């Protein structure tokens, strides 16, 4: 029997812990019974059963002629949990839920390791400790302290027990039913990754929701999540957006590591839909369990009132839906079907005279031309809203495109709600919320197609690189440039000079103004130290520049000067590689120059990325249009840039020990691009960090 079967479909369940009034063991047995599950045994030192549930001191006492104990639920004191698990394992249990707290979350990691050892001994899988239990509504199984939710098609996995409980409590009111629920607490054994794997193949769960504070293993999570998302919608609430990390500036891409932006990129890459909070999660669940796919982004809004229609239309732009105008043919067809007072533009205003047939007919007509529709109704208290809802439901039955509803509000819309719910048309408190959900329905189709094209998910089969870097310390900039050049990456033409005469020679050979940069192992941010001098065009200037640069590195290691021609007519970008503590190598590309820091216009991915994916990153930039050539500039060679991004993103999978690689700027020309500044940090080299810290 698999742990999934034992946990969610046990034949019999044992509950460890005191069954005295008010004790957790008591609450658990009450919940199990109230939920309709009868095959329960209580296990406690006093052998004290309640409500007809038999009790033993140990499972060893149990007669063996009955069905086996597949699952045990443990609410006994923390100090007893290891022994109790041993008892359960001996009796053949294959899954355990440890409600009891007081382990790693309270600083006692040793006790948690001990639990794990016992579990491994008996090949018994553990949920928790410090968790809120699980639910399987299809098995009438509620070993949890939380509200028993209505049955439905949504599975929900929560790292936080309390937040999980809030969701279950709210479900009835929100009109969302659950198939399964699991709170995995400290995740000593089973984690979100195991549950994603189990729920992928769970026929009873059409949609999977996950509340996450941290992932246990970034790459394994991405793999499991992408695997699930290829089959069904995965909705994730990830908290911790505002952690200190996200406040870091982007002066170098290394500071992206560990921030919410990396989680955000990772979640998008694995095809998860990130919900802003619990309310949006419920909105999404209602839509995904009942609506057909939305295969495009053109949306028709059919309303009986201007104001709410406009408010909904207002929202479409920010979520990337298109309230496109109808074709002349469609307008003509609508004109024939509807009275003259109706509006034939999008939003389509049926006016207060729109009845059920009008909703049905207009929705049916517009869906011949649009990818989805929103039916808004503002009812007046003296009219019955049910027939209007029935018209919407009829239209939904006649189409294979999604129709969402927003029947507003309070008492006048009460009669409509059950009609919509029974008819499988999700209803939203406002049209704006419906629009947001429809946009994510459309997004889901893009995700599904993307995952179908590359089924293996992100980075599931990439190992860390094995080649050594050619230095046993962080390289000097000219060394790193030469190395990138050997790897075939486009590096700007440059000279590494040791005296002013060589600098002057470089100026002559380039035959245009030059830039000079100090080379020193102790100086990371050259600009901030005055270590970059630009637009030097005479021998007098280069000589003076050389002197200044030597002074800057005086006493901290002066390794000459890097000379390169001035580039004034290219767009500057930044390409950066960093190492995230959760997800490993992360690649970023953004607009460069002084705007990087202030505009934060970066696209991020967990590395590696293919060239098409690199193109997708570039297309995400808010300032993307700059690359197409504005104000008479020629367009940039975006393909060459995408090459650099993709190639750089693969480097950590080829070479060991790259912690951070910053290319800033990369000049993007009409043809080709050129890396003009390189900073490479090794994983094991901490020396430079000190300089950093003292700045």
Query: 130-189: which residues touch its own copies (CB under 8 A)?
Result: 145-147, 158-160, 162-163, 165-167, 169-173
Q: Which residue has the tokens 């095809």?
A: 271
SS3 172: helix
Residues 6+ apart with CB under 8 A from 559: 476, 519, 520, 521, 553
**DSSP assigned state of 624:** G
Number of residues binding to its own copies, judged by CB under 8 A: 82
Give the residue with the Cβ less far from its own copies, 346 or 649. 346
The site map against its own copies for 213-242 (x = CB under 8 A) is x-----------------------x-xxxx
Say if CB 240 and CB 214 are below 8 A apart: yes
Contact flag: residue 314 with its own copies (CB under 8 A) = yes
Give the residue with the Cβ less far from its own copies, 313 or 489. 313
Taking Cα atoms as reference points, which of 536, 479, 534 lies closest to residue 507? 536
Residues of span 190-209 touching its own copies by CB under 8 A: none
Give the residue with the Cβ less far from its own copies, 220 or 311. 311
The Cα–Cα gap between 561 and 119 comes to 62
Contact flag: residue 306 with its own copies (CB under 8 A) = yes
Asked whether the CA dihedral 365, 366, 368, 372 is positive or negative, the reply is negative
Residue of the chain from 27, 85, 193, 362 that contacts its own copies (CB under 8 A): 27
The least CB distance from residue 594 to its own copies, in Å, is: 5
Residue of the chain from 90, 246, 295, 399 that contacts its own copies (CB under 8 A): 246
Tokens of 560: 């000459």
Residues of span 63-92 touching its own copies by CB under 8 A: none
Contact flag: residue 686 with its own copies (CB under 8 A) = no
The least CB distance from residue 11 to its own copies, in Å, is: 27
Tokens of 483: 């190395």
Residue 387: count other Cβ atoms within 10 Å of its Cβ. Answer: 15
The least CB distance from residue 260 to its own copies, in Å, is: 8
Give the residue with the Cβ less far from its own copies, 329 or 534. 534
The least CB distance from residue 204 to its own copies, in Å, is: 23
The least CB distance from residue 635 to its own copies, in Å, is: 13
Residue of the chain from 87, 432, 657, 660 that contacts its own copies (CB under 8 A): 432
The Cα–Cα gap between 225 and 274 comes to 12
Contact flag: residue 323 with its own copies (CB under 8 A) = yes
Q: How many helices (H) and strands (E) does the chain have?
A: 22, 26
Tokens of 117: 């050892």
Residues of span 348-387 touching its own copies by CB under 8 A: 352, 378-382
Residues of span 433-492 touching its own copies by CB under 8 A: none
Q: What angle do CA 194, 199, 201 make, to 5 degrees?
A: 115
Cα torsion through 73, 77, 82, 86, rounded to 10: -50
Tokens of 577: 């590689």
Give the residue with the Cβ less far from its own copies, 457 or 590. 590
The Cα–Cα gap between 119 and 138 comes to 27
Residues of span 606-645 touching its own copies by CB under 8 A: 622-626, 630-633
SS3 493: coil
The least CB distance from residue 363 to its own copies, in Å, is: 19
Give the residue with the Cβ less far from its own copies, 117 or 384. 384
Q: What angle do CA 337, 343, 348 make, to 5 degrees?
A: 85
Contact flag: residue 278 with its own copies (CB under 8 A) = yes
Give the residue with the Cβ less far from its own copies, 42 or 607. 42
Contact flag: residue 572 with its own copies (CB under 8 A) = no
Give the residue with the Cβ less far from its own copies, 383 or 487. 383
Edge-first strand listing for the sheet containing 234-238 = 133-136, 178-183, 151-158, 207-212, 234-238, 273-274
The least CB distance from residue 654 to its own copies, in Å, is: 32
């Amino acid at each position: 029997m698999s742990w999934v079967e034992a946990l969610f479909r046990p034949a019999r369940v044992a509950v460890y812990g005191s069954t005295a009034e008010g004790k957790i063991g008591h609450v658990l047995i009450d919940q199990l019974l109230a939920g309709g599950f009868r095959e329960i045994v209580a296990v406690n030192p006093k052998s004290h059963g309640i409500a007809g549930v038999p009790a033993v001191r140990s499972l060893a006492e149990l007669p063996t002629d009955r069905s086996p104990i597949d699952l045990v639920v443990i609410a006994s004191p923390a100090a007893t949990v290891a022994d109790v698990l041993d008892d359960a394992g001996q009796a053949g249990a294959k899954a355990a839920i440890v409600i009891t707290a007081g382990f790693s979350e309270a600083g006692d990691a040793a006790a948690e390791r001990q639990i794990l050892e016992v579990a491994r001994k008996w090949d018994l899988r553990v949920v928790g400790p410090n968790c809120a239990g699980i639910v399987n509504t299809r098995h009438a199984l509620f070993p949890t302290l939380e509200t028993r939710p209505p049955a439905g098609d949504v599975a929900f996995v929560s790292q936080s027990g309390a937040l999980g409980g809030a969701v279950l409590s709210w479900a009835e009111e929100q009109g969302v039913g659950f198939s399964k629920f699991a709170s995995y607490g400290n995740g000593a054994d089973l984690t979100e990754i195991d549950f994603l794997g189990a729920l992928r193949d769970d026929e009873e769960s059409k949609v999977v929701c996950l509340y996450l504070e941290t992932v246990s293993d970034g790459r394994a999570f991405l793999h499991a999540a992408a695997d699930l998302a290829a089959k069904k919608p995965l909705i994730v609430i990830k908290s911790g957006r505002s952690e200190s990390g996200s406040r870091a500036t982007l002066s170098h891409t290394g500071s992206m590591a560990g921030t919410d932006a990396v989680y955000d990129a990772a979640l998008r890459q694995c095809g998860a839909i990130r919900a802003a909070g619990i309310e949006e999660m419920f909105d999404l669940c209602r839509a995904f369990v009942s609506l057909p796919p939305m295969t495009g982004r053109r949306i028709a809004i059919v309303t009986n009132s201007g104001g709410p229609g406009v408010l909904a239309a207002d929202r479409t732009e920010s979520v990337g839906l298109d309230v496109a105008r109808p074709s002349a043919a469609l307008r003509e067809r609508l004109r024939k079907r509807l009275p003259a007072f109706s509006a034939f533009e999008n939003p389509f205003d049926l006016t207060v005279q729109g009845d059920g047939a009008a909703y049905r007919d207009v929705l049916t007509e517009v869906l011949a031309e649009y990818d989805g529709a929103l039916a808004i109704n503002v009812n007046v208290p003296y009219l019955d809203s049910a027939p209007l809802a029935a018209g919407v439901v009829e239209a939904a039955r006649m189409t294979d495109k999604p129709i969402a509803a927003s029947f507003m509000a309070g008492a006048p819309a009460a009669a409509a709600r059950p009609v919509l719910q029974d008819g499988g048309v999700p209803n939203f408190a406002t049209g704006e919320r419906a629009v947001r959900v429809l946009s994510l329905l459309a997004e889901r189709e893009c995700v599904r197609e993307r995952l179908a094209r590359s089924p293996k998910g992100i980075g599931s089969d990439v190992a860390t690189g094995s080649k050594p870097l050619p230095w046993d310390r962080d390289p000097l900039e000219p060394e790193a440039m030469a190395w990138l050049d050997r790897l075939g990456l486009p590096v700007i033409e440059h000279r590494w000079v040791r005296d002013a005469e060589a600098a002057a020679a470089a100026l002559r050979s380039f035959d245009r103004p030059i830039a000079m940069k100090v080379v020193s192992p102790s100086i990371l941010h050259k600009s901030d130290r005055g270590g970059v001098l630009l637009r030097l065009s005479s021998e007098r200037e280069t000589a003076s520049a050389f002197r200044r640069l030597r002074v800057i590195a005086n006493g901290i290691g002066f390794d000459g000067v890097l000379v390169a021609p001035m580039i004034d007519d290219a767009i500057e970008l930044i390409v950066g590689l960093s190492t995230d503590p959760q997800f490993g190598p992360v690649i970023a590309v953004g607009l460069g120059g002084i705007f990087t820091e202030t505009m934060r216009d970066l696209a991020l991915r967990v590395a590696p990325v293919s060239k098409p994916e690199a193109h997708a990153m570039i297309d995400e930039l808010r300032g993307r249009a700059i690359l197409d050539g504005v104000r008479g500039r020629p367009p940039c060679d975006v393909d060459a840039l995408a090459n650099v991004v993709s190639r750089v993103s693969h480097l950590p999978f080829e070479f060991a020990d790259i912690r951070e690689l910053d290319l800033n700027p990369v000049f993007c020309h009409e043809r080709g691009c050129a890396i003009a500044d390189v900073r490479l940090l090794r994983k094991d080299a901490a020396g430079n960090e000190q300089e950093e810290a003292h700045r």
